[in-house]
């Protein structure tokens, strides 16, 4: 399933999900430069520490290489109130194996996240 980065999905009861990392074949995405790797390595560690917020059933195949992963999602309330970032667990694979560079807004929010 594809969503452009920072797409705001309106949900019931005034909830907004800000989509990040919902990539698909044929859709361009920002790629990191070598200097970004350490920053993104720290982002990956932080995401793994936070852990997925929603456990969904099923599997997802990477649209770029076919790697098979669970369809678990990170749903992390970072903006307060009824707004949260929504990212597939596959985002870690996209960063490591495909050089995906998430939006700076998302990186900053994750790096400043406190449980």
Q: Give the pLDDT confidence of 37-79 residue by residue, as tens digits.
A: 777 888 888 888 877 677 676 788 899 998 887 778 878 876 5
Cβ(44)–Cβ(95) below 8 Å: yes
Structure tokens belonging to residue 40: 């993104």
pLDDT of residue 57: 66
> pTM of this prediction?
0.85
Q: What is the DSSP letter of 31?
A: B
Whole-number percent of the chain with pLDDT over 70: 94
Cβ(70)–Cβ(58) below 8 Å: yes
Q: What is the DSSP letter of 27?
A: S
- Domain of 20 in residue numbering reads as 7-111
pLDDT of residue 6: 97
Cα separation of 63 and 47, whole Å?
Answer: 22
Question: For residue 84, is it within any domain?
Answer: yes
Instruction: Report how many domains make up the chain.
Output: 1
Question: For residue 101, is it within any domain?
Answer: yes
Per-chain mean pLDDT for the chain: 86
Cβ(77)–Cβ(84) below 8 Å: yes
Question: For residue 1, is it within any domain?
Answer: no
Q: Grade residue 115 by pLDDT with cuts at 50, 70 and 90.
A: low
């Amino acid at each position: 399933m594809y969503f452009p980065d920072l797409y705001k999905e309106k949900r019931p009861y005034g909830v907004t999900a800000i989509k990040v990392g919902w990539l698909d074949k044929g859709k361009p995405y920002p790629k990191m430069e070598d200097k970004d790797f350490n920053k993104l390595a720290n982002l990956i560690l932080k995401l793994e520490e936070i852990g997925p917020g929603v456990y969904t059933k099923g599997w997802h195949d990477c649209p770029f290489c076919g790697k098979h992963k669970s369809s678990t999602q990170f749903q992390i309330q970072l903006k307060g109130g009824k707004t949260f970032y929504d990212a597939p667990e596959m985002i870690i694979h996209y960063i490591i194996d495909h050089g995906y560079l998430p939006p700076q807004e998302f990186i900053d929010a994750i790096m400043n996240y406190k449980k």
